[in-house]
């Protein structure tokens, strides 16, 4: 026979109080433990606010280097004065061209020229035979070329066409076209007029004269343009002879 013992209210209350007491003790213990941890953290924070790292202490203890002495400033030497060419007197005696070329050890100025052949025969560069008739393929009676030149200007003591004395001149000139091995291909001479651009030596010069070409290529004797070859010949013949012509020459230095 089983005996059942009913729990009384007093017994149930005792059990309940015991459980609450245990929970409170655990909470108090846990709170105390966390408080200790908090206190320890506060102490570390306070120590951190007042402490200085060792490497910073060494830096603070090291002597501060004295400031470097100011750099010495040395005044620059004055720039060398450039030589200035003296002004050219418009009335001074003129000289030869300064923009010089050399030929056979002689000094010349440089000019631009045009020559027009006035010889008895045409200058022929190329000719061919067409159905037995001589045809000129390339003629060279007019030629533009660069030439070396030398001139001398007399400066008259009077005005001319509104130009003051000393700014224009007139005089002879000699020109040549150099070849290889100091051989002259052409030579000319004539009368030149010069007009200064300013008080310097730049000018515009224009000369008129005659020119001689010692080695001008023309058709051979008995061979004529637009005619058949002489009997028994099958090729166009050429020869070289001296030809003369008119010359216009321009240079640019007084």
**pLDDT one-digit tens code per residue, 190-212:** 999 998 887 677 889 999 999 99
Q: What percent of the chain has pLDDT over 70?
A: 69
**pLDDT one-digit tens code per residue, 35-70:** 888 888 888 887 776 665 665 555 555 555 555 555
The full DSSP string for the chain is -----PPPHHHHHHHHHHHHHHHHHHHHHHHHHHHHHHHHHHHHHHHHHH---HHHHHHHHSPPPPPPPPPPP-PPPPPPPPP-PPPPPTTSPP---SSEEEETTEEEEEEEEEEEE-SSS--EEEEEEETTEEEEEEE-SEEEEEEEEEE--B--SS-BTTBPTTSEEEEEEEEEEE-GGG-EEEEEEEEEEEEESSSSSEEEEEEEEEEEEEEEEEEPTT--TTSBPPTT--S--EEEEEEEEEEEEEEEE-
pLDDT band per the 50, 70, 90 thresholds, residue 2: very low
| pTM attached to this predicted model | 0.53
Q: What is the mean pLDDT of the chain?
A: 77
Report, as an integer, the average pLDDT of 224-231: 91
Q: What is the pLDDT of residue 91?
A: 40
């Amino acid at each position: 026979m089983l005996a059942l013992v009913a729990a009384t209210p007093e017994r149930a209350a005792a059990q309940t109080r015991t459980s609450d007491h245990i929970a409170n003790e655990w909470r108090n213990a846990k709170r105390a433990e966390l408080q200790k941890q908090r206190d320890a953290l506060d102490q570390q924070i306070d120590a951190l606010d007042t402490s200085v790292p060792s490497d910073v202490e060494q830096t603070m203890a090291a002597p501060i280097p004295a400031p470097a002495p100011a750099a010495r400033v040395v005044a620059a030497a004055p720039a060398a004065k450039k030589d200035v060419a003296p002004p050219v007197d418009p009335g001074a005696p003129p000289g030869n061209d300064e923009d010089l070329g050399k030929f056979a050890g002689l000094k010349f100025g440089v000019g631009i020229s045009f020559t027009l052949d006035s010889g008895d025969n045409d200058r022929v560069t190329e000719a061919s035979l067409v159905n037995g008739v001589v045809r000129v393929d390339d003629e060279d009676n007019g030629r533009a070329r660069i030439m070396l030149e030398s001139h001398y200007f007399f400066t008259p003591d009077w005005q001319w066409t509104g130009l003051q004395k000393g700014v224009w001149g007139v005089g002879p000139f000699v020109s040549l076209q150099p070849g290889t091995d100091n051989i002259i291909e052409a030579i000319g001479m004539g009368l030149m007029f010069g007009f200064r651009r300013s008080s310097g030596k730049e000018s515009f010069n224009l000369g008129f004269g005659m020119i001689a070409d010692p080695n001008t290529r023309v058709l051979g004797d008995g061979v004529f343009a637009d005619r058949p070859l002489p009997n028994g010949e099958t090729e166009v013949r050429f020869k070289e002879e001296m030809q003369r012509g008119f010359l216009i020459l321009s240079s640019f230095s007084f």
